[in-house]
A and B are shown apart, each in its own frame.
Chain A
Amino acid sequence: RKEVEQDPGPFNVPEGATVAFNCTYSNSASQSFFWYRQDCRKEPKLLMSVYSSGNEDGRFTAQLNRASQYISLLIRDSKLSDSATYLCVVRGGMGYSTLTFGKGTMLLVSP
């Protein structure tokens, strides 16, 4: 089983739509969870950390389910500028500083 799995997409949605991505991880000892955003050929940038109780940042909501070992990201009122690849990232296991990246989910928002 792959360590961090994501649906590669692409998810094609119109502006204003709500879209959700899921991610599953295999290591139950994982400590920290993140969503990163990566624009084409650019470096990944932190979108948000994911906390056990769930957290929201504007139009973005992240949820963590430790029992089922999955993480979700919900984007409401999609904008054209949200088009990017979203990387699910997990820290922990053998080395607490080791990050494991999912391969990413591509989102395309159209007018």
Chain B
Amino acid sequence: DAGVIQSPRHEVTEMGQEVTLRCKPISGHNSLFWYRQTMMRGLELLIYFNNNVPIDDSGMPEDRFSAKMPNASFSTLKIQPSEPRDSAVYFCASSFGGMELFFGSGTQLSVL
């Protein structure tokens, strides 16, 4: 298996633009997580899906953030409108049963 695949690897956008991050989890995994990592705050959980259903979105910072998982092999994290303080590395991770997490390589987002 190729592991968790995220795209794009880098995204540079201007404030106010819509940003969509994509994730393909490992086949057979039933849990998917979106994390944000910054130097100041480290890794923070944004949202957690189990069997494609959002279970815990308490980490989503505000209404500008939304996430979907239309099927077991694809998820998106959308920011609309984007702001400079959204600049961070966004990771997607998947697991079977929530025990061992497998992370993607992340999307480096820069909002100018």
Binding partners A and B: no
